Amino acid sequence: MGIIDQLLSPPGAQQLKLGLYLIYFMLLFLLPYMGVLLVTVGLSVTLRKGYPELARSFVQLGFLRPAMLVIFGLVPLLTLAFLLAQFLFGAGLPMGDYMERITVLLAGALLLLYAYGRTEIQAVGAAGVALLGLSLFCLVSVLDLVYHPGMWQFIDGPLPWLFSWTVVAHFALYIAAGHFLAGVAITFLYFYWPEKRVEQGSAEARPLRFWGLGLTLGGAMALPPLLLWSLVLSHSSALTFLAIGAGMAAVGILFMVAVLVVGMLFRGDSRHALAVLVFGLAVMALLLVSHQQLQLAANREHAVVLAMEAQKVRSAAELEQQLLYVTAEPDPALGKKLFDERCVSCHAWDKQVVGPAYLEVLPKYVSDPEALHAFIRNPVKINPNLPVMPNQGLSEREVLSVSAYLLQELPIIQEGANE
Amino acid sequence: MNKFIVLALTGYFGLMLLGFAGLAGHWHATGLPPVQPIAFSHQLHLNTVGLNCTHCHQYADQGKQATVPAMSICMACHKNVKTDSPEIQKLSQAWEGGEGVEWVKVHDLPWHVHFTHKRHIKAGIECQSCHGEVQAMEQMRQVRSLEMGWCVSCHRLNAAPTDCLTCHK
């Protein structure tokens, strides 16, 4: 453990912005897939004893193929592990460590589910579903750390999980979305997709239609209150009109889905299977837009703070690097660079700007450069009529360099002024 | 299809939409940062210029109130800095006319709470713990509830006194 953390380096502000979008892109693969997997295999395990045929059809949807498990499961998860750890670099969180633990849990869960698909042993499936549920709860907890910087310090213990209402609300929302998507997938694959299509009037069609449409309807009914709950729990500074508006649009489309599904249940057909899939995907897109808005707003300010932390780490590393080759000798060229960048915005040689004229204040330091170093390191108020100079946060070498440059220039400027 | 079921569905989803609208209304009324008379940016002054909080809020570590900075503090720099900006001109006009700037108070505690900034800063609490990441805010806004439960939870965490008389004199 700790492998990921060792591979990271401090990110810049632009990378942080890009990181959020990449995190979103990976979640787009991972979360819907895991939700559908959890619900379909969960149902299959539950129905294994009484309805073995039905249990088999839920496993044979195609989501348990090794290629699917790797492409939609492990690859996005590992990418996310790096992206999240990189995004929260400087937050003082062992994010890479959390994600390593989740990866181990999730890989174990996927292996058990795969074994269940091959062997159909109920206990293996049950263990796989339980482990998958646990690792998804941990994943939701860790993702919530990105949404809620206020909770950064609260994970403790071997499992990276977090019990707060926000995490519970997000997990419930996620499980409801999993049911909805599983229903949509069952309806679409068994009643529309040519390869898997079952005959409308056949004996296996009835329970499949019942479960597919039932899950879709249940998910569609459960999603709106849970989405509203998760928005209510978000901090007011993270809310935006787009986040609420996308939620409202999702509710509108869910209403249409519910009406279509109830119609199909009553008539005993599945003529709108394609429409339900399209609407279902639209709902997922709107949920993502809504949550992406929340996340961007929640991180607007923290991205600046994280970038500052990363900058500190980077400067410390650079300084360490420099010290390997040079001692803290003053370098007037560096001094001139700092002077041009920082000093001249408030100081001039011959007149008071924001700070006093150098020709007035510098001569007293000629015999005592150490006092000038001390002042630059930690400025104090000297002239009560002027604002105190801000601390520039310079390194020791920079302090020595800029004072060397000032004291070296002073006699030249004085000569020019006297002429 | 049964009309009753369609009606029930319409009612249920309509109710949900009303809930969302209610949330939007409540958030619009309470959650947006107040508009200040001058577009002052904390982000610019703290992050870009590199000032400390106490550079302007001079009494934060010395007294009960952190205090809104006196205009002379603004003018000490802005007599010379960015004088052509229209926002700074609002400031200098008020200064020359002997008027104040009517800032909107963002963090307001009720009268029955006795709170001192000095004590909290002396105890090593960062300004950001209560005021949020001010160095990244363009527009100042309240990010913590400042409700009693919030105060008490932090007091417990830091083993600070929690009897009533600590805050209610």
ipTM attached to this prediction: 0.74
Q: Are A18 and A167 in contact (CB under 8 A)?
A: no
State how far the Cα of B162 lies from the Cα of B152, in Å rounded to an integer: 7
Position B86 in a domain:
no
State how far the Cα of A120 lies from the Cα of A139, in Å rounded to an integer: 27
What amino acid occupies position A37? L
| Interface membership of A384 toward B (CB under 8 Å) | no
Position B84 in a domain:
no
- Do residues B107 and B61 share a domain? yes
CB burial of B127-137 (b: ≥16 within 10 Å; e: otherwise) equals: beebbbbbbbb
- Do residues B108 and B162 share a domain? yes
Residue A323 is predicted with a pLDDT of 67
State how far the Cα of B33 lies from the Cα of A80, in Å rounded to an integer: 33
What is the residue range of B12's domain? 1-30
Position B83 in a domain:
no
Summarised one tens digit per residue, pLDDT across range B115-161 is 999 999 999 888 988 898 888 888 888 888 788 888 888 888 888 99
Position B109 in a domain:
yes
- Do residues B55 and B11 share a domain? no
Position B36 in a domain:
no
Closest by CA position to A59, among listed A116, A100, A15: A116
- Do residues B121 and B147 share a domain? yes
- Do residues B48 and B11 share a domain? no
Closest by CA position to B134, among listed B61, B64, B33: B33
CA distance A155 to chain B (A): 15
- Do residues B61 and B110 share a domain? yes
**DSSP letter assigned to residue A386:** S
Summarised one tens digit per residue, pLDDT across range A68-113 is 999 999 999 999 999 888 888 777 778 888 889 999 999 999 999 9
Mutate to test the interface with B, among A254, A259, A269 (most CBs of B within 10 A): A259
| Interface membership of A325 toward B (CB under 8 Å) | no
Q: Are A254 and A184 in contact (CB under 8 A)?
A: no
Q: Are A183 and A214 in contact (CB under 8 A)?
A: yes
Query: How many domains are contained in chain B?
Result: 2
Mutate to test the interface with A, among B57, B72, B133, B141 (most CBs of A within 10 A): B133
Mutate to test the interface with B, among A237, A257, A287, A351 (most CBs of B within 10 A): A237
Summarised one tens digit per residue, pLDDT across range A29-38 is 899 999 999 9
- Do residues B144 and B62 share a domain? yes
Query: Minimal Cα distance from A235: which residue of B?
Result: B143
Contacts of B16 in chain A (CB under 8 A): 224-225, 228, 251
- Do residues B117 and B142 share a domain? yes
Question: Could you write out the DSSP letters of every residue in A125-151?
Answer: HHHHHHHHHHHHHHHHHHHHHHH-GGG
Token pair recorded at residue B30 = 């309470």
CA distance A86 to chain B (A): 20
| Interface membership of A254 toward B (CB under 8 Å) | yes
Q: Are A243 and B23 in contact (CB under 8 A)?
A: no
Summarised one tens digit per residue, pLDDT across range A166-214 is 889 999 999 999 999 999 999 999 988 888 888 877 888 888 999 999 9
Question: Could you write out the DSSP letters of every residue in B51-99?
Answer: --HHHHSTTTTTSS---PPPHHHHHHHHTTTTTTSHHHHHHHHHHHTTP
Position B81 in a domain:
no
Summarised one tens digit per residue, pLDDT across range B44-64 is 998 888 888 888 998 888 888
SS3 B76: helix
- Do residues B126 and B146 share a domain? yes
- Do residues B1 and B64 share a domain? no
Q: Are A12 and A110 in contact (CB under 8 A)?
A: no
Beta-carbon contacts of A87 under 8 Å, excluding residues fewer than 6 positions away, are A11, A16, A19, A20, A23, A95, A146, A306
**DSSP letter assigned to residue A171:** H
Position B1 in a domain:
yes
**DSSP letter assigned to residue A251:** H
- Do residues B23 and B46 share a domain? no
- Do residues B3 and B51 share a domain? no
| Interface membership of B150 toward A (CB under 8 Å) | no
State how far the Cα of A389 lies from the Cα of A376, in Å rounded to an integer: 9
Position B146 in a domain:
yes
